[in-house]
Structure 1
Amino acid sequence: MAAAHDLGPLPHWDLSNVFPALESDELKAAIARCDDMLGELEGYLDAQGIAKDAPRADDDAIRAALDGYLERMNDLVALYHTIGSYIRAFVTTDSFNQTARRMLSEIEPMGVRLHQIDVRLSGWVGTIADALPRITAQPGPAQAHAFYLRETAEQSRYLMSEAEESLAAELSLSGANAWSKLQGTITSQLTVDFARDGKVEKLPMPALINLMQHDPDPDVRRRAYEAEIAAWETVKEPLAAAMNGVKGATHTLDKRRGRRDPLHAALDHARIDRETLDAMMGAMQDAFPMFRRYLRAKAKRLGHAGGLPWWDLMAPVGRHERMYTWDEARAFILEHFAGFSPQLERLAQRAFDSCWIDAEQRPGKRAGAFCMGVPLVKESRILCNYDGSLDQVSTIAHELGHAFHNECIYAAGKTELQSITPMTLAETASILCENIVTDAALAEAQSADEELAILETDLIGKTQVIVDITSRYLFELEVFRRRAKAELSADELCELMLRYQKETYGDGLDERYLHKFMWTWKPHYYFAGLSFYNFPYAFGLLFGLGLYAIYKQRGAAFVPEYEALLASTGEDTAANLAARFGIDIRDRAFWKRSLDVIGERIERYVSL
């Protein structure tokens, strides 16, 4: 077992099989080819009369035009996404890399042109919606992309004019996207001088946050919390400006596009309806008392008379929390993935062996974790900030779940347009992989103290996804409501954050020590064009728990159907895909059953 400071060599990801280097001739040629393909596709639209105001053609001509478009667009998107993933791999691990940042800026106008092409296609498809059932009845690319075309036709009603959409896309580079990049730059470059073990270290924020969350010394956790709050205080004004910039632009565009509100667009992107969201959120809020019971039990274990102070929210519980070296984490994950399916184990083995994972904490690297696909090589890359905790082992398993999802899509031969997965379903595989690791850790616990530590890691993660996610959802709703009238000051944003932490955590937390700056470093608030990146995590957790319960009932027979589900998450609504397994996501009872699984673990935790 590893000491916290002895994790073994931590890998950096390798993308040399994608392009040799940032300034290589191969990458330059790929960018030039992408630019050429954009021009060719723009010319194709002109030649085929693909435009909202174009004269109506017959079905055969429409089918031929669609088939040609789909083939060209899929090839173009695969190349553009591969180039983007490659460059972002450098930006996200070293925000000081000026070459990578310049190159990312240089390719962004191509993304604008892609969006403009998509808008033009969408406007045209909206005018031929009545012909789509006939056109997609015959074999060919249009039939293979029937769901994509139907969804495109439905969403075309929320487009501005082609000229307005084109202008909005161009302005986004110096507007909402620029604000988003500013937030990423500030939060990844901010460092704090922190005294520990008799010396002062200059820590990047992800490392400081990991200390606050996981260090076994309560004094270190408290001081890390205080240092973190003080650090965010120094950058709150530019981050508030970034928040206002992103949310203001989103509100304006949603209004011009005829959306009822920003949540309307988020639900469509998530491929769920309000009935589903209300059922899920209602069940979650009904479950808050059991989560508060867990938090108060944890507070008591840590010697607090009331609720938890923020610095102890994620604190380890149990005197012998295991720390995993990198090699131990790898072995543990591979062993237990193998028990689920050979395909999952092979994917994880490949990810470890081929250096798909960037694990080391270092200055300039973004906080948190993510997985991104690299379409042209049909691979994924994973970023995390590994610290040896079971929580981080679970994070690696989570991100490998995303990579497995990508693998199922690649293996099924799905195109880029067939694999546009909503945020809700994007968390399905990752949550199931987390459950595999947690169940394995609980099964191998050697003592009540170790079981307690494992339950703690599991429950605090689920508390984040149910309780904290609700606080973020309510916060974002109110930010949008107020931003429609005026800009919000940094202090107003802090006040709202505190309000919704109190409303959701209740007496589970000590109200004197909350985290008013949680809005500063969560990048989800700053994604231009992607609002409410919060409730999909809860959907993914609870839907994943529902699927995992079916897996435990059916065993190996479940796996092929599950892999088929993952391969087709871009080709139907969440409700229809869930129905394959007899799940009704509009039924509050389904969500309650998944929450009851968490409740059983809370009861066990309290009883230990």
Structure 2
Amino acid sequence: MPEITPPRWDLSNVYPGLASPEFAAATERRQQMLGEMEKLVASLEALDASSDADLVASRINQMLTEFDKLLLLDNTMGAFIHSFVSTDSFNKDAMRKLSEFEQVSVRMDKLKTRLRAWIGKIASLLPQLTAAPGPAQDHAFWLKEVAEQSRYLMSQPEEALAAELNLSGANAWQKLQGTITSQMTVDFELDGKVQALSMPALINLRSHPDENVRRRAYEAENQAWYTTREPLAAALNGVKGTAVTLNQRRGRTDALHSALDINRIDRQTLDAMLTAMRESLPIFRQYFQAKARKLGKDKLPWWDIFAPGGKNTRAYTYAEARAFVQDNFAKFSPDLSNFARRAFDGNWIDAEQRSGKRGGAFCMSVPGVKESRVLLSFDGSLDVVNTLAHELGHGFHNDCMFKAGRTELQRTSPMTMAET
């Protein structure tokens, strides 16, 4: 196991804390900017495709400039709050700040809906509006995409109601799932002593070199999920049920329709990928059969799927993992390696395994300081070292966009691009 406790991330360069005067000032500024943006959108709604093109061009350029400023603040504050909630679901102060933030986010959602509807209304003017240099031209792709997607909006009152209900609906179910899973612990015997392991720590044992540990961890994980099956099933049904209902009300073809649009691919592309996967299944089956034989078994049990294939039982310290990632990044790109060094030196990574911390791994952008933050649960395994490198790769993507001077609207990228 690692010799040194992996680090927790530091966001004090964003705001000193949730109770700081700086964060309070940002909260007030967000309210003010949102109010001004609401007035601006109201003035836009008085214009349509028959309005004077020069006037529409002037207003849309103003809107894009002000909207980006609002999004920059909103996304920075959201990332800051999320940094506390995702790492400590026991933090009541952070939960309260999140609740306050989300109340204002309802207004943001309503504003975005009105804006999308208006852009759809003036869609015929977009070729002319984006022809001249300026914010509209810089955001031509975003404007075109919004106009195309505006056809799937419900009426304004219905969209407003959906935004308000989301707080106590799908969003509440999602937070319940996150709170339950992050606070779960399992008593597990490891290295001769019983430890209270968080679910991420237990799941990380899937790649442990000892089969007995892997099997017991698998059984303990299944039992833990079984004890929480009812609330987790309710949360899943609540989230997906809301999505299904809204997709139907918005005129979507099926549940995949909106997901395809969000990821900027068509159904033919998805079908092609699924076909390639199905055609590759025999190779994967052969691999698992070979792995079973290597382990001296007729069939591969679930707890052996992630078993290490070699004799290497090495556990990396966090310092060794850092060196491994930086050195291998350098073989590909010095810029990538230097970025990783910035992330490590700046304490951008929350790697400690602990109760209250959400499972999985992610990289989030913190646009106000043009940085990223990475969350994972480090256990010293090569699998988690690979995860560390993967998430830093997302951070490098963010860094490239920051250095290119991209706005918040321009930096929105689908998972189909981010994960490739």
Question: Do Structure 1 and Structure 2 share a fold, with TM-score over 0.5?
Answer: yes
1:278 aligns with 2:274: no
Listed as ranges, the matches of 1:29-40 within 5 Å are 29-40=25-36
1:74 aligns with 2:79: no
Which of 29, 40, 45 is the aligned partner of 1:44? 40
The answer to whether the 8 Å contact 2:2/2:315 transfers is no
The answer to whether the 8 Å contact 1:59/1:131 transfers is yes
Q: Structure 2: which amino acid aligns with 1:9? A: T
Q: Structure 2: which amino acid aligns with 1:381? A: R
Query: Could you give the per-residue CA deviations for residues 55-94 of structure 1, whole angstroms, max 9, x where no partner exists?
Result: 8421111111111111111111111111111111111111
1:328 aligns with 2:324: no
Cα deviation, residue 248, structure 1? 1.1
State the SS of the aligned residue for 2:314.
coil
Query: Could you give the per-residue CA deviations for residues 304-359 of structure 1, whole angstroms, max 9, x where no partner exists?
Result: 112x1111111112112432211111111111212222221121110010000011
Query: Could you give the per-residue CA deviations for residues 527-550 of structure 1, whole angstroms, max 9, x where no partner exists?
Result: xxxxxxxxxxxxxxxxxxxxxxxx
The answer to whether the 8 Å contact 1:41/1:72 transfers is yes
| Residue aligning to 1:486 | none
State the SS of the aligned residue for 1:60.
helix
| Residue aligning to 2:194 | 200
| Residue aligning to 2:308 | 316
Residue ranges of structure 2 left out of the alignment (5+ in a row): none
Which of 51, 58, 62 is the aligned partner of 2:56? 62
Q: RCO (CA 8 Å, sep 6+): is it higher in 1 or 2?
A: 2
Query: Could you give the per-residue CA deviations for residues 16-43 of structure 1, whole angstroms, max 9, x where no partner exists?
Result: 1001012111111101111111001001
| Residue aligning to 1:343 | 335
Greater than 4 Å deviation, 4+ residue runs: none
State the SS of the aligned residue for 2:372.
strand
Q: Structure 2: which amino acid aligns with 1:253? A: L
Q: Structure 2: which amino acid aligns with 1:156? A: S
State the SS of the aligned residue for 1:287.
helix
Q: Structure 2: which amino acid aligns with 1:303? A: G
- Distance in 1 (CA, whole Å) between partners of 2:334 and 2:357 is 33
- Distance in 1 (CA, whole Å) between partners of 2:370 and 2:149 is 29
- Distance in 1 (CA, whole Å) between partners of 2:363 and 2:2 is 25
TM-score by length of 2: 0.98
- Distance in 2 (CA, whole Å) between partners of 1:28 and 1:340 is 43
| Residue aligning to 1:241 | 234
Q: Structure 2: which amino acid aligns with 1:274? A: R
The answer to whether the 8 Å contact 1:71/1:141 transfers is yes
Listed as ranges, the matches of 1:229-268 within 5 Å are 229-268=222-261
1:24 aligns with 2:20: yes
RMSD: 1.3
Which of 375, 383, 393 is the aligned partner of 1:401? 393
State the SS of the aligned residue for 1:77.
helix
Between the two proteins, what is the percent identity of the paired residues? Answer: 59
Listed as ranges, the matches of 1:452-601 within 5 Å are none
State the SS of the aligned residue for 2:228.
helix
Which of 404, 413, 417 is the aligned partner of 2:409? 417
Cα deviation, residue 388, structure 1? 1.1
| Residue aligning to 2:126 | 132
The answer to whether the 8 Å contact 1:85/1:373 transfers is yes
Aligned length: 420
The answer to whether the 8 Å contact 2:184/2:199 transfers is yes
1:115 aligns with 2:109: yes
Residue ranges of structure 1 left out of the alignment (5+ in a row): 429-608
- Distance in 1 (CA, whole Å) between partners of 2:140 and 2:365 is 24
Query: Could you give the per-residue CA deviations for residues 373-414 of structure 1, whole angstroms, max 9, x where no partner exists?
Result: 000100000001111111111101100110000001100000
| Residue aligning to 2:179 | 185
| Residue aligning to 1:370 | 362
Cα deviation, residue 112, structure 1? 1.8
1:388 aligns with 2:380: yes
